[in-house]
Amino acid sequence: MSLYYTYETPVGELTFFEKNGFLVGIVAGRVAGEGELGETSVLREAYTQVNAYLKGQRQAFSLPFLFGGTPFSEAVWRALMEIPYGETRTYKQIAEAIGKSTACRAVGRAIHTNPLLIVIPCHRVVGSDRSLTGYAGGLEMKRKLLDLESCFKHSFDV
């Protein structure tokens, strides 16, 4: 059974999705998903951990999650999870990390389909010139997340 629930957070509303006891999605905004609206212990714990992160009280997550993507997308998402808190990488660095140094655009597409905002830290990926690039939660949210992690203390070109 699939369930979803929307919570208010320091960066706005986030909708969390669960399927069979696993977190399968976090998206920006209030979004109706497949399944039923309902809060569960998995969703509540995911919200608790994400909210603690957003308040500067947590740097890593310990959640039961699944992501379903192509083998390439999953390799990209795993590489994103290896970016340490407070650091950034470029699309090229992610491509190199998965052994596909010429696949920067494909890496960008995989990042765009990241099912778990914040938990899979795609906000830590910036352009090769260190500029902010697209983010499913919007560039303002990306800026807030990077500022939270103290990655940058200057304004970005957006």
Q: By CB neighbour count within 10 A (0-12 exposed, 13-18 middle, 19+ buried), where does 21 fall?
A: exposed
Residue with tokens 């500029």: 131
Active site residue 151: no
Q: At what angle do helices 71-81 and 104-112 cross, to 10 degrees?
A: 80
Query: Which amino acid, 85?
Result: Y
Residue from 11, 122, 132, 145 carrying the catalytic annotation: 122
- Residues 6 or more apart whose CB falls under 8 angstroms from that of 69 comprise 77, 110, 113, 115
- Residues 6 or more apart whose CB falls under 8 angstroms from that of 61 comprise 49, 50, 53, 119
| Active site residue ranges | 122
